Amino acid sequence: MYFYLPAKHRQIFANPLGILLKENQTNKNTIKHFLNDSLIVSVGDTTTAKLLSLNLLPAIQIIDNKEKRIPAKPMLTNNQKFNLHCNNPPGQITEDSIRTIKIAFRLEKPIRITVDGEEDLLTIPVCIHAPDNSIVLYGQPDKGLVIVKVNNKIRKKVLSLIKYMNQGYDEIGG
């Protein structure tokens, strides 16, 4: 089973889930202010590259080697304890991606998850499965960086977003 986002509901998912930092605010001191020794998860190539350029190593990095759906130069993977992979087509959240995210939270960090497809919607399962007080960072295209502190309020918010997604089945799952 997987969830997919119909085009008519995409705008609902465009609203930031947390604090939006404009591009000119995304410096090390500003970002570190929000981190507080929390488990850090970055979703997206640009977000992950930005954090790494500021010498901030996310515990879990989720990338797809694309920027705005255009192939990007693959990032080096020399700092990870584990490199995981999952399939997640554009506009979907697959069982494979959810399972991989859950595994990542149980393994020794840091971890890089490379997505075959698109990682854009994976902030949702990250916010559902991350431990309380984790910090999830993701990019808001052409606007800046979103910082989300995981707690029950955020979990309820992302679970309410899932109602705008449709469920589907792959060939194997019937």
Question: Which of 60, 30, 35, 37 has its CA nearest to residue 48?
Answer: 60
Whether the ω angle into residue 90 lies within 30 degrees of 0, i.e. cis, is no
Q: Domain residues of the chain, as ranges?
A: 2-168
Q: What's the whole-number average pLDDT of the chain?
A: 90
CB-based contact 93:3 (threshold 8 Å): yes
Decide if 135 contacts 40 (C-beta within 8 A). yes
- Coil vs helix vs strand at 170: coil
Lowest mean pLDDT among 9-23, 65-79, 80-94, 130-144: 65-79
**Average pLDDT of span 168-174:** 52
**What pLDDT shows up at residue 174?**
37
pTM above 0.85, yes or no: yes
Q: What is the pLDDT of residue 81?
A: 85
pLDDT at 77: 61
Cα radius of gyration (the chain): 15
- Give the up-direction half-sphere exposure of residue 163: CA atoms within 13 A in the CB hemisphere: 4
- Secondary structure (DSSP) of 143-166: TEEEEEE-SHHHHHHHHHHHTTSE
pLDDT > 90 fraction of the chain, expressed in percent and rounded:
64
| Residue 104: how many other CB atoms lie within 10 Å | 24
List residues bridging with 3 in a β-sheet. 93, 167
Above 70 in pLDDT, residue 40?
Answer: yes
Render pLDDT for 138-169 as a digit per residue (tens, 0 to 9): 999 889 999 999 999 999 999 999 989 987 76
Of 7-16, 62-71, 75-84, 119-128, give the range with the top mean pLDDT. Answer: 119-128
Would you mind telling me the total number of residues written for the chain in this entry? 174
The DSSP 8-state label assigned to residue 133 in this structure reads T
pLDDT tens sequence across 57-80 = 999 999 999 876 677 776 666 677
Structure confidence at residue 172 (pLDDT): 41
Cβ count near 10 (within 10 Å): 11
pLDDT in tens, 95-110: 999 999 999 999 999 9
